[in-house]
Structure 1
Amino acid sequence: MNINTYIQSGILELYVLNLLEPPERAEVQDMICLYPSIKEEVEKLELKLEADVRQAAVTPPSTLKEKIYASIQEMERAKQVDFDWTALGLIDQNTDYKAWYQAVCDRYPKAFQQDNYFKILREDATAKQLLVVSSSDVAEESHDDTYESFLILKGKCMCTVESDTFFLEPGGFTQIPLHTRHQVKIVKGPVVAVVQYIALF
C-alpha cells in the first residue's frame, strides 16, 4: 500500500470529522495502529480542526447568561401560576400518586432536594392541600374538627394511629379519624407527601 496516497485520499479528514461509516472507521483505526505516519497525520488534522473551531467561535454577550436564567425563572413561575391543583382532585386511597409526583416535580423540583420544605398547593372552601417535605418525626397530635389525610410521594414513614402501627411508602395513603391520636416517624427520609385537611362542616 502507498501510504502517501492513502493519506492524500481524504479519508483521514472524514475520519476526524466522524463522517465515515463504521466499517470504514474501523479500517482507519487499524491503519493508525499499523502505520505511525498515519497516526501522526490524524493527530495533525485533529489539532487543525480544534484550532479552526476556536478561531470561528463567537463569544456570547456578557448578558446572555442572565437572560437565560431569567427566562428559566419566568417559565417556572408560569408553570406554578397556570396549573390548577384542583384538577388533581382530593386525595384518597384510589389517587394516582404518580400524577401528583409528576405535577410536583414539574413545578417545585427543588423541593426534592430539601430536607424540609412546605408549600400550600390549594386552599379553598373544600380543602387545604400542602406539599410537605420532612426529615423530622411528627409529634403526636389529634384533630377535633378537621379530617387529615396524606399521600406519600417519596420516602418511607411509620404511622401510629392510636394503637395501630403501619408503614407508608410512595403511593401509600391514610386518613386520620377525628379525635384520634396519631404520630409519624421518618424511616427513610426525607419524606415527600401531600397533606390534606378537610374541615368538618
Structure 2
Amino acid sequence: MNPNEIRESGLLELYVSGALDKEEQLLVDLALKKYPELKPELENIELSLLNHAQHYAIKPHGVVKPLLLATLDYMERLKKGEAPCSPPMLHQHSIIADYNQWLKREDMVRPLDMDAMHARLIAHEPDKVTAIVWLRFGAPGEIHTKEYEKFLIVEGTCTITIGTAEHRLKAGDYLSIPLHINHYVTVTSPIPCKIILQRIAA
C-alpha cells in the first residue's frame, strides 16, 4: 500500500486504538518504516484521540479513591499478619460499643490533614464490607442497586437525605439505605463525622 492508501484505509486510526489484528499491525509497522511522512500523521491521530478521551472522561465518584486506598491498606495489613475478622452486622439495635475492638485500635484513626473523606476497612468479606469512615463535609449522592448500605454514627452529626426525606443523625444513631433511591450525606458538626459503614450484598 502507498501512503495515500494507508491514510484513506483508516488503518492508522485503528493502529493507534489497538484494534488491528497482527497482520494489519505488521502492515502498518512496515509502512511507517517505509514512509516516514506517516509518523507525524500517526502522532496527530494519537493526540486527537487523547484529547477526545480527556474531553469525554468520566470523573469517578467521590468515594472511589478513599475506599480504594482503604482496601489497599487492608490488604497490606493482612499481608503483615492481621487476622481477618467478621464484625457484627449493623442493625437498628447496634451500639457503638459493639465495634470498640476496632474503634479503640491505635491504627484506626484518621490523619489530621485528611481530605474530604478517609476510610479504614475493618473487614472485607464476600457478602459484607465494614469500614470506619470519616467525612469532613459529606458524601455525594449515589444509588445502590446491588448492595445495602448501613450507617452507625460514632462521632459528630450529619444529615443523610434519602430521596427527599432528611434524617438528622448524631452519635449512636443507625440508618439503613434502601436500594434504588438516591442518597447523600451532609456533615453538620464542626468536627468530621465518624461512621461505621457496612455495605451488604443484596
Which category of TM-score, normalised to the shorter sequence, fits these structures? 0.5 to 0.7
Greater shift, 106-115 or 183-192, is seen at 106-115
* Distance apart, 1:82 and its partner CA: 5.4
In terms of fraction of residues, the more helix-rich structure is 1
Q: 2:180 and 2:147 mapped to 1: Cα distance? A: 9
Q: 1:106 and 1:132 mapped to 2: Cα distance? A: 14
Counterpart residue number, 2:34:
none
Q: Does the CA-based 8 Å contact 1:150-1:175 persist in structure 2?
A: yes
Tell me whether 1:131 sits opposite 2:154 in the alignment.
no
Q: Does the CA-based 8 Å contact 1:101-1:153 persist in structure 2?
A: no
Point out where structure 1 has 5 or more consecutive residues left out of the alignment: 1-76
Counterpart residue number, 2:91:
92
Identify if the C-alpha distance between structure 1 residues 114 and 92 changes in structure 2 by more than 3 Å, giving closer, same or farther: farther
Instruction: Specify the code of the residue in structure 2 equivalent to 1:99.
Output: D
Secondary structure in 2 aligned to 1:98?
helix
Counterpart residue number, 2:178:
177
Using the aligned pairs only, state the percent identity.
21
Secondary structure in 2 aligned to 1:91?
coil
Q: 1:187 and 1:81 mapped to 2: Cα distance? A: 38
Q: Does the CA-based 8 Å contact 1:156-1:191 persist in structure 2?
A: yes
Equivalent pairs, count: 122
Instruction: Specify the code of the residue in structure 1 equivalent to 2:172.
Output: G
Q: 1:112 and 1:98 mapped to 2: Cα distance? A: 23
User: Which residue, 182, 190, 193 being the options, matches 1:191?
Assistant: 193
* Distance apart, 1:134 and its partner CA: 1.3
Identify if the C-alpha distance between structure 1 residues 145 and 120 changes in structure 2 by more than 3 Å, giving closer, same or farther: same
Counterparts of residues 51-66 of structure 1 (less than 5 Å): none
Q: Does the CA-based 8 Å contact 1:114-1:133 persist in structure 2?
A: no
Bigger Rg over Cα:
1
Instruction: Specify the code of the residue in structure 2 equivalent to 1:140.
Output: G
Instruction: Specify the code of the residue in structure 1 equivalent to 2:130.
Output: Q
Give RMSD over aligned pairs.
2.4
Q: Does the CA-based 8 Å contact 1:112-1:192 persist in structure 2?
A: no
* Distance apart, 1:114 and its partner CA: 5.7
If the length of structure 1 is used for normalisation, what is the TM-score?
A: 0.53
Counterpart residue number, 1:118:
119
If the length of structure 2 is used for normalisation, what is the TM-score?
A: 0.53
